[in-house]
Copies of this chain bind each other. A is one copy, B any other.
Amino acid sequence: MQSFIENETTYEVIPFTWPKGYKADGVYVGLRKNPETKDMGWLYSKVPAQAAGTYTTNQFQAAPTKLTKQTINHEHLLQAIVMNTANANSVTGQQGMVDALEMQSLAADKLGLENNLVGVASTGIIGEPLPMDLIKKGVDKLELLDNDYVTEAILTTDKHTKTISIQIDIDGKVVTITGFCKGSGMIHPKMATMLGFVVTDAKIADGALQEMLSQQVDATFNQITVDGDTSTNDMVVTMANGLAENEPIANDDSVNAQKFSTAYNAVLSQLAQDIAADGEGSTKLVEVNVEHAATHADAQKVAKAIVGSNLVKAAIFGEDANWGRIIAAIGQTSAQVDIDHTSVWLNDLPLVIDSHSADFDEVEMKASLADKKITILVDLNVGNEAGQAWGCDLTYNYVRINATYRS
Which residues of A are at the interface with B, using a C-beta cutoff of 8 A? 57-61, 88, 90-93, 125-128, 185-186, 190, 227-232, 308-311, 314-315, 317-318, 320-325, 327-333, 337, 339-340, 352, 354-357, 394-396, 398-407
Contacts and interface: CB of A to CB of B under 8 A. Distances in A.
Given A228-B228, A229-B332, A93 B324 contact: no
A185 B125 CA distance: 30
Contacts of A314: 398-399, 401-403
Contacts of A340: 93
Interface residue SS majority, chain A: loop
Contacts of A92: 356
Instruction: Indicate how many identical chains form the complex.
Output: 2
A209 to B, nearest CB: 28
Contacts of A185: 311
Contacts of A57: 332
Contact of A232 (B88, B328, B406): B328
12 contacts: A59-B330, A59-B332, A60-B339, A90-B324, A126-B324, A232-B327, A311-B402, A317-B399, A318-B402, A318-B404, A318-B405, A399-B399
A339 B94 CA distance: 11
B231 A126 contact: no
A192 to B, nearest CB: 13
A68 to B, nearest CB: 18
Contacts of A328: 58, 60, 126, 186, 229-232
A185 B322 CA distance: 14
Given A229-B309, A399-B399, A91 B60 contact: no
A357 to B, nearest CB: 5
A357 B127 CA distance: 7
Query: Which of A59, A231, A232, A333 gathers the greatest number of chain B CB atoms within 10 Å?
Result: A59
A311 B399 contact: no
Nearest to A188: B332
Nearest to A356: B93
B399 A325 contact: no
B60 A331 contact: yes
Contacts of A396: 396, 399-400
Nearest to A318: B403
A327 B127 CA distance: 9
